Structure 1
Amino acid sequence: MNIKNNILLGAILLISFINKINANVINEYRINSNHNSNIVLKVDNEINDVESEAAVVIDNDIESDISDSDDEVIDIESDILEVVDAEMDIESDVSELDNEENDIETGILEFDEGEIETETDVVYSDTRLPENVLPVAYRLDFYTSIENSTFDGKEEIDIEILKDTNSIIFHSENLSLSNITISNENEILKPNSIQFIKESNFVTLNFNETLKSETNYTLHIQYSGKLNSNGIGYFIEEYDNEDGSQSRMAATQFEAADARRAFPCFDEPQLKATFQLNMTIDDGYNALSNMNVVEIKEIENSKLKQKKYIFANSVKMSTYLVAFMVSKFQSISDKYNDIDVSIYVIPDQIEDAKYSLKLAIKLLEFYEDFFKIPYPLPKLDLVGIPNFTFGGMENWGLINLKPYYILWNEETGSIDDKCAIVMIIAHEIAHQWFGNLVTMKWWDDFWLNEGFATFMKDIATDIVEPELNINNYWYYENFASILEVDADNKLKPVYNFSSNPKYTEDWDKTSIYYKGRFIIRMMEFWLNKMNDNLNTSTTSIEDNYFNKRINEYLNLYKYDNVDSKQLYEMLESYDENGQPLYHVSEIMESFIKQKGIPIVMMEKIKNDHNLTLTLSQKRYFSINNKLDDFEQKDTMIKGNSTWVIPYSYSIYSNSTGKPELLKSHYITLEDNDDRKSKTTISLPTKDDEASNTKIFIKGNEDQKGYYLVQYDDESIQVACEWLKSDLNFMSYRNREGFISGIFTQLFEDRVENPATILNCLDYLKNEKSTLIWIEVLEYFNVLIERYENNMESNELLMKLISDLTKNIFEDIGWVEKEKEGIEKKSGIEDNSIINREKLRRKLMNLRQYGEENNKAKALYYYNEIKNGTYSENLEENILEYIFSDSIKYGDVNESDIDFILNELDSETSKFEKYSLMGGLQQVSDASLRKKILEKFSNDIETDSNLDNDEYQDLKIDLLTNWASEDYYLCFTFVRDHWDDYFKEKYLNDNYSLIYLIKNIYLKSKNDDEHSQEIVSWIDMIDEKEKKISLEDEIIEDNYDDNNLENEKNEDNNNIENKENDDPIILWLKERY
């Protein structure tokens, strides 16, 4: 073997290939962000360095290795050949680039990063973009192929250089980039290297030249990518049409940081710019974007029939609000002033979109009037996107929604569905001002968007749909849920700093949306009261102090970005010395930047000369708080857990012979370092035993504040006496707050004499407020749960609940007699249809504690429905109780089963199927159960009624319910239909089915006759997939059984031991 000749030949070949590469000057830079490291692509001027270094390496290798063994020479030859092969691959890639130069419009150029060494300079390491470049305007030209799930495009971004720099950094994720240059009137510059940082999605363009401050350039980029199926960025969705065919559509979801998945951009909210989009799409589709269509061009000489949609230039906005869509949707439209308002949905759904169109126009009109700022775009589209990941997204001019939140049928739609639509559309349209027009600077102030949109939704819904009276119930439902998690230390602060918006798991949306909303509501009330603008009867809602300042805030910062402090400054007023009057910053900072909710302890102290009120605060922890260690809890309380509280209290007196409001007061409870310090207030009046004059002080007027109040025993007793004689001496909102507060004190043993609170319950016999009753029933559930394992206590509770709910049950009833004018006729402010429906459902859930004739009512309505003679205005959701109770308590026979099974075949309503299946769950007769399963078997064998997955899951739930009593019947049904029905569900991880199988196993394990048969069958079906672990089930079941038994014994022992001193049980025994 001629070693030297072979080595020289290899060297010559290598240098030859490098020269070929040098001859084909590489102008294409390809960056694919799936690569795991930083990449620097060296071009043009660096190839000579590579060539010379390669030659030196080869020469050195020849000299040093010429005398080595044949084996070592073979290794050298092998190494050289591998290098040659690699260079051939590179040459092939360059050739591909050359071949595709004429097709650069598609931007689909392949590049294998594995063939490029990752040699990098110092990399920019911050997670935020540097402040050296400002984007001004984007021009985007997209082509989207729905068929291939791909897109590509080219863009121009006009940028302003703010500081001298040699680099430009922007965002890109999962995109292929090419032909990157910057230009101005004088020059075109190419980057000498490009870096990509996967963690931050940064692309850094490095230039030899210094880009001078106050100069302008245009950044040119070509890009391509794939439509993803995960619902973020630029994504694709498949959906079923009414005729069973499937269609596809593409849409965008960019909040918080996913615009970079669709086009290279400066993807931070404070970097607002204008956007002009062109969308080229295939024939048969249409395109939407934030702005209106200026022109639609037919593409000539294209292989496919294509159209280009040219959209108007946008207003200045953040990248996360950019939106576009390609679909076959249809629309209905109308005009509000000069604004085109449209709803886009699947063609089959167009009839059910009419309500949302009317609603959107009413909301636009309201917000324009309220904010005194016109909606700035020429159109507003609302789109129902199948399988949309989020409830809604406020893209400016192109709002995305789940179909559930946009479709409502006036004949079949429920009141709950209508309320959900009103609230979410009101929220998203509010964002067109809060969030779109004025945007937070960074995501730590996300509450400025979401808290205000939620707050404005409350105001808007009561104006545009007053008959729904949504917010009376919404307040209770949301405040109760927020309180529960905030008092259990589970809620993060409203303001929650995160340097990377990709880490959205750091966001606590419950806190941002809803706690933020309650804090804003508190400040609205406080500022209006403190500004002495109290005459709300003659002042319109948009003209009060708070709303005037908010309108000024929107006007001052429109098309701009803000932080929390700028809002506080706008809401504050100052005295002649420049000192703040309302402590806005101190109040807001204490509430949004720490966890928890404060509780204010009020104590009325009287002596011979005067009456004083002492106030103190601490952090409130609920009785369910998981911090078991008292010292740990106390340490948390001693930390930064006091608030600057905008506190209100109202003084009531019966000096005129009946209880009346004297005056309300508004003070600031300071954030004192000494937690034991108290605020003492001298009251302007006092109790007078000689004239039987008493006073009661109610804290937190109309429950506007985000804090709780604790009362002393005497105050509770006075208020309860007055409630029994004249419950309307307080507004229903104040009554609700008082009753909620004292129930909490009762459960948490924060009252000297529990009987004081328990004696108050009798006033409820005359209470008509639906909201108060909704809340009281929740407290009854707490009592039921507390004593559920003690039969005697449970029976006493049943008597109490039956006694107290008798009047309200008769008033609410099973059927709503009248749907119109309920509030006016009843004189009850919160007596709306939605509140009555919700209360009716809660009463039904406790109906076993109510009147005995509830069973007779259920049987009556069931027979009316069965015989076709029913004509009353019965709500759909009450059907669940009718079918369940009539089957459970009635004399059920085969004709009843036939009737229900026939109804299941004919009914299409999801809720009606749910109600009918709920009735079948109550069937206990073995022969009737077999008859039902014979019908289900026939459905499987004839392939009938199998197209509704939710209905099929209800059947599985039915079997799970029956398995507790007749597991073998359920097992044989599943076994016999495994191959032709259940196996597919099992392979698709149907949780309900897997739970059913586990439940069957657990019920059989103590049965010697069938246990081994069932275990063998489960082992057989689960051999490959391993979805069911029986060993885990044995351990868990034994553990659960033992623990449950221990817990029951412990509960019973505790209750029996405490029966003699439990004040609630003692009070019940004395009463009954």
Structure 2
Amino acid sequence: MEYSWHLLVGLVVVAISAVTSESVNRRSSTSRVDNDVDYRLPNNTIPLHYDIRLVPFLENGNFTFGGEVTIDVMVVEQTSTIVLHAYDIDIDNDTVVVTSDNVTYAISNKTFNTDLHFYTLNFATSLEPGNYSIYIEYVGILSASMEGFYRSYYTTSSGETRWLATTQFEPVYARQAFPCFDEPALKARFTISIAHWPNQTAISNAAVASTSGADSTIENRVWTYFETTPLMSTYLVAFVVSDFEYQSNDDESFRVWARSDALNTTTYAVTVGQEILADMNDFTGIDYNLSFSKMDQIAIPDFSAGAMENWGLVTYRERLLLYKDGVATTRNKQNIATVIAHEFAHQWFGNLVSPLWWKYLWLNEGFATYFEYYSTATVETTWRLAEQFTVDYYHPALLADSLETSHPINEDVYSPSEINAIFDTISYSKAGSVIRMMQHFLGGPVFQAGLQLYLQNMAYGAATPDDLWEALTTANTNMSSPILHTHVDIKTVMDTWVNQKGYPLVTVTRNYTTATQEISQERFLLKGRGSSNDTTEYKWWIPINFASQANIAFTATAPSDWIRSQDDSVVISGFSPTQWVIYNVQQTGFYRVNYDDTNWGMISSYLQTSAYIIINVLNRAQLIDDSLNLARAGYLNYSVALPVTRYLTQETSYAPWAAAFTAFTYLNTMLANSTGYEDFKTYVLSRVTPIHESLGHEELSSDEHITKLHRLSVNSWACRMGSTTCREKAEELLLDYYSSSDPTDSTISADLKAWVYCEGLRNANTSVWNFLWERYLATDFSGEQTLILSSLGCSQDEDILNNYLALSISTNSSIRSQDTSSVFTSVYTASPSNVDVAFNFLVNNYEEISEFYGGMNRIGSMLQGLASRVVSSEQLQRLKDFVEEKQDVLGVALTSAQQAIELAEENISWLENYEADIVEWLAEEVAAIDEPQDSGSERVSFGILLMTISIGVIGFI
């Protein structure tokens, strides 16, 4: 049924039972019983309202909290049991009371299932359909786990430790703070009250309704009472008790909270956040303030996720909310804006309309990922975010989804571990990229009108993709000139993209005699054609568009034709046989394109002319990314793919270079032990040198935003590929900083620090390394801390690295728990020689590592990370020996360890298949280079590209 937005708001209260009852019935189709284990709650009870009272204790090491909850529920069918979620809280069974109309119902017994997290109330007589009230008292632990209701801390400028209590409930952790119906479709209203010391502040989803005076029953704490929320899912509930302060807009309806010493770094978040929220209001046509009268954002010192979209109270890691001018990098600033946009998009996509079940997580995260860049672009108009989306999200999604271990966007999940596992590249980046594809084949007006209708239809409810397809179809039909062909049905098209894993390789085979092109599809696999035992016939509805040398149509992204899922191939005619064609304009379709060798040759030759700029910048990035991944997977010879990169000596744009650096990173890793490694470095340096010399080592006042990002990656690559002038400049700048009289006043530009710190440390002595470590300890700015941590692993000194790795598993090292794992990664990604250092450390300290992280799981992930860098038979054998010797103690990490061996074996196999061809091509290419273009360069091995946080992109919850 279709309602206008304002009418729907008025009907919500009346329609609670009907809407929720429908949701419960629909969700049963996704429930599963495996070996008599069903993780889904029964369908017999629906929550309507929670009244939650909490008293957190943060003093004297007593990290606990007391709680009581009254849950108003509707029993929809006769039952003798009510089942709730509860986990890691101690329920006082004697306090549990169930009433209805002043009648108390006898509970025969209460049981708890630790595997399912079920707390079950069994009644002596059956409960008839109707409304009931459940009262429960309980206590819990404010743990350091960064989930549920947990504790965090910070240190003031005077050295005092201050504690705070905060929350992270997505996806299944609300049950650790209060007994509840912890599934996304089971929405209810929440009235929350929190007791705290008078010098503290409590904030929650809703605005403060009132406060009380001192309560003598809880040591004179005061109470903060919050207004009742609209209907919302349990995973979106949030509350924080702290002594933080805030900056706000004039009416204090928009606030950004931080510890007092960091309050002056919240200004940018206040400014850009309001603009992004206003943009989402405009796009959706639904005013945020119809749901909540305020928006709070808060920077949490210890936070496992990047950020969390709690309705009305968004929580962040500090470095993703706090911006310090002159210290924070351009990438920091961009991350802050885009993460705010991601979380604010969730206020509609996820909060107002939630997924019916976690199977449809992408309805939250895919849209948040899409708007992350596209909403920010309306505010920060010069950042070229549409270009960055392609290399930051689209290309990584193609890589992840080409693995046999990928999964459909709609992925059935049941247990908490399965639910957590789908918060991944597929649910975020692939889904966001597929949404981008949909926006292009529908056109902007239909796309926006359809999303507005979807949000209006499903407001305060729970949706499936079919609800989205229906709204988009209606929007298309309502257009005076529908954009889709009459034979194209949105649900039919999109089901092929969301219900099966992987994506198509579109192969264009030209007949140069008849001037025709046959276009076919097959699933692209990174291990190559025929590498999968999966017998499923994967086929998609694929939007097709193209440009040609005679028709430079790189602005028209609507499809000119479709490959249907039932088509083996289609034939298109009318192209000049002497000119190139390029399919997938602006790489809007989620697929790769391969051509016959002749067309690839024409493209490569044209790119080397001054007219290369005519090809759209995103298609230049596409040609690099597609060709080198096609070669990596064996669909294309490297002798055809690598010539595409020759033109890079004249490329100046960020996106093609970002695609090239990603492709070169893989080759740099794989060839590190090869006889052709020096030729590889010489070739890459010859491509990088012109842009390196053009950008230089100093920032200019005229630099664009993207130029600053570009200079950092270019300088890093020039150094690693052997440029003496680059390396010496980094060492000079770092030593100047080391020798300065005031280490708090760095002369190094913030956007050059990642390059200077890492490259300057490679051959630095212990004193210089210790200097940077002291800077890490001295700064309280999270962005600077993260940058330094990632750079400290760049040293080539084994003793320094071993000491650094030891610090990462020391409880008193001052490395925050959210950052410790990044230390190990920063070491083994810094250079080929560091891989062995990191592996030796793991072998010698696996027991201590396991103890520090609370189990063997971390050992498994470390082994897999190392295995991706194994490129010699000696390294592979050492890995096998370790796993075999320790298989009895690896426990839960054994499977991951065995997978690490498989990954390392695949690397060796790949080298056996492709190394010789690459080495031969490189030798010929390098021989053709008359003189190195960087007169200060020499063939010295300085390892592989460090994929640091400073130039990377983080996925967020």
- Compute the TM-score of the two structures, normalised by the length of structure 1: 0.67
Q: 1:906 to 1:294 in 2, by over 3 A?
A: closer
Match of 2:236 in 1: 321
Per the TM alignment, residue 783 of structure 1 is displaced from its structure 2 partner at its CA by: 4.6
User: What is the CA distance between 1:321 and its match in structure 2?
Assistant: 1.5
Give secondary structure in 2 for the equivalent of 1:572. Answer: helix
- Counterpart of 1:352? 265
Which of 306, 316, 341 is the matching residue for 1:391?
Answer: 306
Does residue 497 of the first structure (1) align with residue 412 of the second (2)? Answer: yes
Q: Match for residue 735 of structure 1?
A: 620
Alpha-carbon shift at residue 775 of structure 1 (Å): 2.2
Contact 1:604/1:613, CA 8 A, preserved across alignment: yes
Question: Contact between 2:719 and 2:759, CA under 8 Å: does it hold in 1?
Answer: no
Cα separation, 2, equivalents of 1:662 and 1:906: 48
Query: How far off is 1:208 after superposition?
Result: 5.4
| CA separation of 1:802 and 1:189: change in aligned 2, threshold 3 A | closer
Whole-angstrom distance in 1 between the partners of 2:217 and 2:526: 68
Q: Corresponding residue for 1:715?
A: 599
| 2:626 counterpart letter in structure 1 | G
For each residue in 1:569-588, what CA deviation from the matched residue of structure 2 results, as whole angstroms up to 9, or x when unmatched?
11125779999753322232
* Counterpart selection for 2:43 from 111, 127, 131: 131
2:460 to 559, 564, 581: 559
**2:56 corresponds to 1:144:** yes
Q: Distance in 2 between matches of 1:614 and 1:390?
A: 46
- Which of 545, 549, 561 matches 1:652? 549
2:141 equivalent to 1:227: yes
Matches within 5 A, 1:178-327: 178-185=94-101, 187-198=102-113, 199-207=115-123, 211-213=127-129, 215=130, 217-229=131-143, 230-299=145-214, 301-302=216-217, 304-327=219-242
Q: In 1, Cα distance between the equivalents of 2:465 and 2:911?
A: 53
Residues of 2 paired with 1:548 and 1:961: CA distance? 48
From 268, 283, 297, give the equivalent of 1:370: 283
Say which of 327, 350, 353 aligns to 1:438. Answer: 353
Mapped contact 1:755–1:1063 kept (Cα < 8 A): yes
Find out whether 1:605 has 2:499 as its counterpart.
no
Aligned to 1:594: 500
1:922 and 1:260 map into 2 onto residues whose CA distance is: 47
> Partner letter of residue 288 of structure 1?
I
Quote how far apart the aligned CAs of 1:923 are: 11
- Provide, for residues 240-263 of structure 1, a one-character-per-residue CA deviation record: whole Å limited to 9, x for no partner: 333333333222222223323322
Separation (CA, whole Å) in 2 of partners of 1:958 and 1:131? 50
Matched residue of 1:721: which SS?
helix
Look up the match of 2:471.
Answer: 570
2:590 alignment partner, SS class: coil
Residue number in structure 1 paired with 2:870: none
Contact 1:877 1:911 in 2 (8 A): no
Cα distance change, pair 283–871 in 1 and its aligned pair in 2 (3 A):
closer
Give the whole-Å Cα distance in 2 for the aligned partners of 1:433 and 1:282.
34
Identity of aligned residues (%): 23
The 3 A distance-change label for structure 1 pair 794 and 492 is same
Structure 1 SS opposite 2:545: strand
Whether 2:293 is the aligned partner of 1:361: answer no
- 2:629 counterpart residue number: 744
Q: Deviations over 1:964-1004 (max 9, x none)?
A: 99x9xxx9xxxxxxxxxxx999996999xx99xxxxxxxxx
What residue is the counterpart of 1:622 in the other structure? 526
Correspondences of 1:799-818 after superposition (within 5 Å): 799-818=682-701
Cα distance change of structure 1 residues 412 and 184 upon mapping to structure 2, 3 Å threshold: same
Query: How far apart are residue 294 of structure 1 and its match?
Result: 1.3
Q: 2:880 maps to which residue?
A: none
Cα 1:164/1:808, change in 2 over 3 Å: same
The count of aligned residue pairs is 819
By how many angstroms is 1:613 displaced? 1.6
Q: Which amino acid letter does the alignment assign opposite residue 694 of structure 2?
A: D
Match of 1:410 in 2: 325
3-state SS of 1:196 partner = strand
* Matching residue of 1:836: 711
**1:221 counterpart SS class:** strand
1:492–1:595 Cα contact (<8 Å) kept? yes
Name the residue aligned to 1:382: 297
Change over 3 Å in CA distance of 1:424–1:177 after alignment to 2: farther
Q: Distance in 2 between matches of 1:244 and 1:595?
A: 52
Task: Look up the equivalent residue of 1:130 and give its one-letter code.
Answer: P
Shift of 1:460: 1.6
CA contact (8 A) 1:900 1:916 kept: no
Q: Which residue of 2 aligns with 1:107?
A: none
Change (3 A) 1:749 1:321: closer
Letter in 2 for 1:648: N
Once the 2 structures are TM-superposed, how far is the Cα of residue 840 of structure 1 from its aligned partner?
Answer: 3.0
Amino acid at match of 1:440: P
Aligned counterparts of 2:645 and 2:256: Cα–Cα separation in 1: 50
Alignment equivalent of 1:334, drawn from 249, 254, 260? 249
Task: Please give the alpha-carbon distance, in whole angstroms, between the structure 1 residues aligned to 2:470 and 2:594.
Answer: 33
Letter in 2 for 1:835: H
The amino acid of 2:297's aligned partner reads L
State the 1:371 CA deviation.
Answer: 1.2
Report if the CA contact (8 A) 1:822-1:833 is conserved: yes
Matches for 1:1017-1056 after TM superposition, within 5 Å: none
- Counterpart CA distance in 2 for 1:918 and 1:135 is 50
The Cα shift of 1:708 comes to 0.4
Give the match for residue 23 of structure 2.
none
Q: Secondary structure at the match of 1:369?
A: helix
2:542 aligned partner, one-letter code:
I
**Which shifted more, 264-273 or 1058-1067?**
1058-1067
Match of 2:581, SS state, is strand
Post-superposition Cα deviations, 1:1015-1052, rounded to whole Å, max 9, x if no partner, equal xxxxxxxxxxx99999xxxxxxxxxxxx9xx9999999
Indicate whether 1:172 and 2:172 are aligned: no
2:878 aligned with 1:878 = no
Q: Which position in structure 2 is the counterpart of 1:822? A: 704
Change (3 A) 1:487 1:502: closer
Q: Deviations over 1:38-95 (max 9, x none)?
A: xxxxxxxxxxxxxxxxxxxxxxxxxxxxxxxxxxxxxxxxxxxxxxxxxxxxxxxxxx
Contact kept in structure 1, 2:108 and 2:123, CA below 8 Å: yes
**1:740/1:219 CA distance change after superposition, 3 Å:** same
In the TM superposition, what is the alpha-carbon distance from 1:702 to its structure 2 partner?
Answer: 0.4
Structure 1 residue 320: Cα displacement: 1.8
Whether 1:419 aligns to 2:334 is yes
CA distance in 2, matches of 1:770, 1:502: 38
Inter-partner Cα distance in structure 2 for 1:902 and 1:366: 44
- Indicate conservation of the 8 Å contact 2:556/2:585, yes or no: no
CA contact under 8 A between 1:653 and 1:661: conserved in structure 2?
Answer: no
Deviation at 1:812, TM superposition (A): 2.0
Can you list the C-alpha shifts for 1:725-768, whole angstroms capped at 9, x where unaligned?
3012211111111232233344455447x655555444222211
Aligned pair partner of 1:447 in 342, 362, 376: 362
CA–CA distance in structure 2, aligned partners of residues 662 and 281 of structure 1? 58
Alignment of 1:82-161 (within 5 A): 127-147=39-59, 148-161=62-75
RMSD: 4.9
Instruction: Give the structure 2 partner of residue 774 of structure 1.
Output: 658
**Which ranges in structure 1 are unaligned for 5 or more consecutive residues?**
1-123, 529-542, 688-693, 824-830, 889-895, 934-944, 972-982, 996-1025, 1031-1042
The answer on whether the counterparts of 1:240 and 1:246 sit within 8 Å (CA) in structure 2 is: yes
Shift of 1:520: 1.0
Kindly provide the amino acid, as one letter, of the partner of residue 52 in structure 2: L
Amino acid at match of 1:272: K
**Contact 1:276–1:314 at 8 Å: present in 2 too?**
yes
1:553 deviates by 0.9
Distance 1:956 1:742 in 2: 29
The alpha carbon displacement at 1:410 in A equals 1.3
Which structure exhibits the higher relative contact order, with contacts defined as CA atoms closer than 8 Å and separated by 6 or more residues?
A: 2
Whether 1:343 aligns to 2:256 is: yes
Alpha-carbon distance between aligned partners in 1 of 2:437 and 2:629, rounded to the nearest angstrom = 22
